[in-house]
Amino acid sequence: MLAPTIAPDLKGVVPGAVPVVTAPFALVQRFCGEVVEIGGILTASGPGGAGKTYAVSYWSDRASVPVIRLHLGDRIRGNELLRTILAKLGEPTDGNGAILLERVRAALADRRLVIFVDEANLLNREALRQLRYLHDQRDARFALVFTGVDFDEAFAGVPEFASRVARRVTFGPLTGAALLTTLAANHGVFAATETGVLQAIDAQYAKGLWRHWENVLAIALAAGATAETGISMAVARGSLGAIVGGAPARKRGRR
């Protein structure tokens, strides 16, 4: 992980939170720009809540080219994907697969833009092959940016697509000293909280994932935690009880 470099214009999900630029986040900012220049493909993978979608969204909100964002909540077939892209481009969505594919190809021809697919690991083989076909056209200038949990399985049946991925970023849970340093930079409440309390919360619930820590922070703030008091063990237990019905176990002293 990079040293906790603060991004001043990043707005935290929880009031007072200042997101921290980690190594994967920084790589996404750099690689997104690079795949735009070469019309390439980027994948950002990792467990849910690790920050990959946020990292790409941060870049796309400031991109110098148009970004078509597609969020896949379920396994999606090729024609559904084509119709979604056409709808985003303001094009007609009727017709069979061949008509839709040609219409997308024509709509994307010589257009410098990004198609950002969130949860792209849910794309089936047909959809991936259609994207490969579109991306391989001589007049294609667009970049593809995928976020998802794991692309090994998704790409296993379509090796010709996997071989075209130009940049890859892997996100993972924060652990150890990196977790504690990052939390302290993220919010004054975390900075004022005893290490043992943070470790207990992480072990039982947060697991080094940003989304989980955001939940903890929001509930702890509502319970009265401040940058002066930090999160006490009592507040931690109440916060986790509200989230998962449990609480950090108390450490037993020596007898």
Can you give the CATH number for the domain in which 108 is found?
3.40.50.300
Which of 159, 185, 164 minimizes the C-alpha distance to 174?
185
Q: In the chain, which stretches have pLDDT less than 50?
A: 1-11, 251-255
**Which residues of 29-155 form beta strands (DSSP E)?**
41-45, 67-71, 114-118, 143-148
Q: Say whether both 160 and 47 belong to one domain.
A: yes
Q: Say whether both 63 and 142 belong to one domain.
A: yes
Q: Say whether both 157 and 184 belong to one domain.
A: no
Are 120 and 146 in contact, with CB atoms under 8 Å apart? Answer: yes
Q: Say whether both 80 and 117 belong to one domain.
A: yes
Q: Say whether both 130 and 41 belong to one domain.
A: yes
Q: Of 138, 170, 202, which residue sits at a domain end?
A: 170
For residue 49, the enclosing domain spans: 23-170
What is the tens place of the pLDDT at every residue in 39-60? 999 999 999 999 999 999 999 9
Q: Say whether both 153 and 196 belong to one domain.
A: no
Q: Say whether both 236 and 210 belong to one domain.
A: yes
Which of 54, 44, 42 minimizes the C-alpha distance to 172?
44
pLDDT (0 to 100) of residue 13: 57
Residue 8 lies in a domain: no
Q: Say whether both 113 and 131 belong to one domain.
A: yes
Q: Say whether both 81 and 187 belong to one domain.
A: no
Q: Say whether both 232 and 116 belong to one domain.
A: no
Residue 11 lies in a domain: no
In this structure, the number of other CB atoms found within 10 A of the CB of residue 98 comes to 9
Q: Say whether both 107 and 191 belong to one domain.
A: no
Burial call 221-245: b when 16+ CB within 10 Å, e when fewer: beeebeeeebbbbebbbbbbeebee
pLDDT (0 to 100) of residue 153: 83
Q: Specify the pTM.
A: 0.83
Q: Of 170, 198, 232, which residue sits at a domain end?
A: 170
pLDDT (0 to 100) of residue 112: 94
Tally of domains within the chain: 2
Are 45 and 149 in contact, with CB atoms under 8 Å apart? Answer: yes
Residue 78 lies in a domain: yes
Residue with tokens 């930090």: 230
pLDDT (0 to 100) of residue 74: 60
